[in-house]
Structure 1
Amino acid sequence: MSRLQGKVAIVTGGARGMGGATSRLFVQEGARVVIADLLEDEGRQLAQELGPHALFVRHDVSDEGSWQNLIDQTVKTYGEPGVLVNNAGVLLFRTLQETSKADFERVIGINLTGSFLGVKHVGARMIAQGQGSIVNISSTDGMKGANGLGAYSSSKWGIRGLTRVAAMEYGHKGVRVNSVHPGGIDTAMGNPYAEAREEVNKRYTFVPLQRVGEPVEVARASLFLASDESSYLCGAEIAVDGGMLTGTYYVGFPGAPGV
């Protein structure tokens, strides 16, 4: 497969979960991938597994200096980046009243500020080339309310706005910026107790597809946006959520599961 042949891609949070699946898929599709993550053991192991077309760089998305180092290492090893997937993120389950200012700022700093810094600095390299694709990973919680997820949801709504502004400012310079909005995905963050898939699925009976998503299913959306197949998409929002945002079932009414 060669849908990304010749492209250099940076994937933040690329060592595991959705980022790991994206790193693997991108290499399979011909890209040279820089796995940017704070998880050194997992990141180096994945890069070794994927071979010469993958490089691990320790990276803190919330630190501007770390972005410059990441770009320098990318250019030195593979050349100018043509794809950026802003995937790194953290999740915090806490009510607004229970959320401290430090908690809120940490989540915003990683999820939103981290994406902003990537859009700014990697985006500048793409603008200089006159081409590129930026994929910002938001969430279904960036498109609806979410009790107990005040900081997280705020950051993901922010990514949605950031994406639209960047699409307007970068699109006419040859750089496409789009967002992906995963629903429940079976990752270490979304399933911290590593429950069996069958057990997790029982909590997703409100979703039309009746199951939790797999990391590779999000990666495939990022692949499409990174590839030339999505050449006329800019500012688009793709929900990979099993239909979660479609609506809420009226239990027992015609058309609901089991009826």
Structure 2
Amino acid sequence: MTTADRVALVTGAARGQGAAIVSRLRADGFLVAACDVLDVEAQDDGVLALTLDVTSEQQWRRAVDATVARFGRLTTLVNNAGVLHRAALADETAKGFENSWRVNCLGPFLGIQAALAQLRAAEGAAIVNTCSTGAIRAFPNHAAYGSSKWALRGLTQIAAAELARDDIRVNAVFPGPIATPMLDGATQSRLSASFGRLGRPVEVADAVVFLVSDRASFITGSELVVDGGQCLRIG
């Protein structure tokens, strides 16, 4: 299957890392359903902008149906949507904790379920989940975010093992500090001072596009860390 035959659904596509992933997929010839709870600006006729709350099973079904109605198929799923929520254990709330899990882990699970029939029918089907270096190292004040990303890491591995028989590859990227709206200015300055520079969204997008391409056709269950050595520098 050529890239011109491939159709990707990308969540969290309105800005930052997600928008960069959409642009890189289009540059490689993919047709793309760009999904977000925020408004998405379709850059050309090869992009279908859709509203999607990833915690809603019904909205997932509608997004997949709309993608197939527009492009005829769905071959690739990029679960990129996520929320960053920080709080000390003593200050965390049940609502804050649960919301992180619903967006960061339940959302990708619902996406895989919604897309599964299409992916099973596709040649060269691939899923990429956006995890985090927070699923590699334990960071204080990240109980909700970190634990939800650890869970997504586990979900990725289980999905890779279960879907290998269907020739669906499932991999994960683990971004470190990336210059996106998810990080406020003060946090970006602090991290830049610690690690030299922040990553650029396109650097994560390049990793995602590699993992969904034929260049990675023998790769599944892998974890690609894109952090500029962040994990190596934390003692």
Q: Secondary structure at the match of 1:51?
A: coil
Match of residue 244, structure 1, among 208, 230, 234: 230
Give the distance between the partners of 1:244 and 1:4, measured in 2 at CA. 33
The aligned amino acid for 1:129 is A
Pairing of 1:66-81 with structure 2 (within 5 A): 66-81=59-74
Query: Which digits, 9 at most, give the CA deviation of each residue in 1:123-166, with x for residues without a partner?
Result: 33211336410000000001110111110001110110000000
The TM-score with structure 2 as length reference comes to: 0.95
Question: Whose Rg is larger?
Answer: 1
Give the distance between the partners of 1:184 and 1:129, measured in 2 at CA. 34
1:93 is matched with: 86
1:105 is matched with: 98
Match of residue 147, structure 1, among 120, 133, 140: 140
1:256 is matched with: none
Give the distance between the partners of 1:129 and 1:52, measured in 2 at CA. 22
1:20 is matched with: 19
Matched, 1:170 2:169: no
> Aligned residues, how many?
234
Match of residue 210, structure 2, among 214, 219, 224: 224
Conserved? CA contact 1:130–1:173, under 8 Å: no
Match of residue 118, structure 2, among 125, 130, 155: 125
Give the distance between the partners of 1:95 and 1:202, measured in 2 at CA. 19
Conserved? CA contact 1:201–1:211, under 8 Å: no
2:200 is matched with: 214
Q: Percent identity?
A: 38
Conserved? CA contact 1:92–1:149, under 8 Å: yes
Conserved? CA contact 1:4–1:226, under 8 Å: no
Q: Which consecutive unaligned segments of at least 5 residues does structure 2 have? A: none
1:257 is matched with: none
Give the distance between the partners of 2:191 and 2:44, measured in 1 at CA. 38
The aligned amino acid for 2:105 is L
The TM-score with structure 1 as length reference comes to: 0.86
Q: Secondary structure at the match of 2:5?
A: coil
Conserved? CA contact 2:33–2:49, under 8 Å: yes
Query: Which digits, 9 at most, give the CA deviation of each residue in 1:61-80, with x for residues without a partner?
Result: 00000000001100000021
Give the distance between the partners of 1:126 and 1:242, measured in 2 at CA. 32
Q: Which consecutive unaligned segments of at least 5 residues does structure 1 have? A: 250-259
Give the distance between the partners of 2:3 and 2:84, measured in 1 at CA. 30
Query: Which digits, 9 at most, give the CA deviation of each residue in 1:191-212, with x for residues without a partner?
Result: x23x7xxx946633543xx211
Deviation above 6 Å: which 4+ runs of structure 1?
none
**How much is the aligned-residue C-alpha RMSD, in angstroms?**
1.6
Conserved? CA contact 1:206–1:244, under 8 Å: no
